[in-house]
Chain A
């Protein structure tokens, strides 16, 4: 999994940099066919939790890494709630500018 983006000016090359994927900026779609899209990753749903305002969808993309996406009620209706249940196979995608690079601390 490779994340591409522009690092902030206050971070320098010597620092260890970590990426943050904001959950409300990640889009979710059903994984169909093959895909080699940039800024996208596929995985299986581990947990699907309604928090009262959004649905937090935890998708395991590689071993040891779960990416969370916050879906609105409308987005869940469009996708179909049954397709978001655990073990469903989904594709997560984002815009390059949505990734936040921070100092690892």
Chain B
């Protein structure tokens, strides 16, 4: 198993890739076959041609543009996501590999379907092996249950690929669940960077404390009693 948790063997890469591209080819061929003139094939049969011969000489040439278009698109996908990644970078962390791994998960209901879809989106982003990946409110549209599952998925991917994820979120719980370090922003500047635990235990400003909802903020007057104690008294 490689870093993405999928098999390394080449034939499995090809199988995964075939599964990916097959629907594209099939769709285009079917569209072309939809407009097929059956009369020509019937005429050939009436002329005494064998069915297989009539299919090859009459129907296949008519469907050929669809087959060629599908093949070209499949090839383009291959060039982009399989050959380039596999041959140029030498990496086996290809999209077909990752999706093949995802497809082995039995999609039993909507939850798995959404998670699988999100995994594919992530896989597409990870296929070029970026050093840093920006996720801008990536889980915002998901319901709580799916979001939590995707949070676990992000943590797993982060650990297994070593990719740095910059995850933008307004959800403090989500930030704590995913992040090794959290940067709280204020007016475009970083107000504090810390681990989730440190941030919650020791926010450095009232803005950060309020943002992470650390507790009740009490503003008041500071009075030094005896070093190093202070007394903020509410006014």
Contacts and interface: CB of A to CB of B under 8 A. Distances in A.
B230 A68 contact: no
B230 A7 contact: yes
Contacts of A102: 203-206, 208-209
Contact of A18 (B202, B218, B224, B231): B218
A46 interface: no
Interface residues of A, number: 33
Contacts of B220: 3, 18-19
A100 B198 CA distance: 12
A24 B217 CA distance: 14
A6 B207 contact: no
Contact of A17 (B202, B214, B232): B232
A23 B208 CA distance: 15
A3 B214 contact: no
Contacts of A1: 218, 233-234
A103 B215 contact: no
B148 to A, nearest CB: 13
A8 B192 CA distance: 15
A71 interface: no
A105 interface: yes
B216 A105 contact: no
Given A16-B222, A103-B206, A21 B230 contact: no
Contacts of B202: 8, 100
Contact of A20 (B191, B203, B231): B203
Given A10-B204, A102-B204, A3 B217 contact: no
Interface of A: 1-8, 10, 13, 16-26, 62, 64-68, 100-105
Interface of B: 186, 191, 201-209, 214-220, 222, 224-225, 228-234
Given A18-B232, A19-B220, 13 more contacts: A2-B231, A3-B218, A3-B220, A17-B230, A20-B215, A20-B218, A65-B234, A66-B216, A68-B215, A68-B216, A100-B203, A104-B219, A105-B206
4 closest A-B pairs (Cβ-Cβ)?
A22-B215, A105-B205, A18-B206, A21-B216
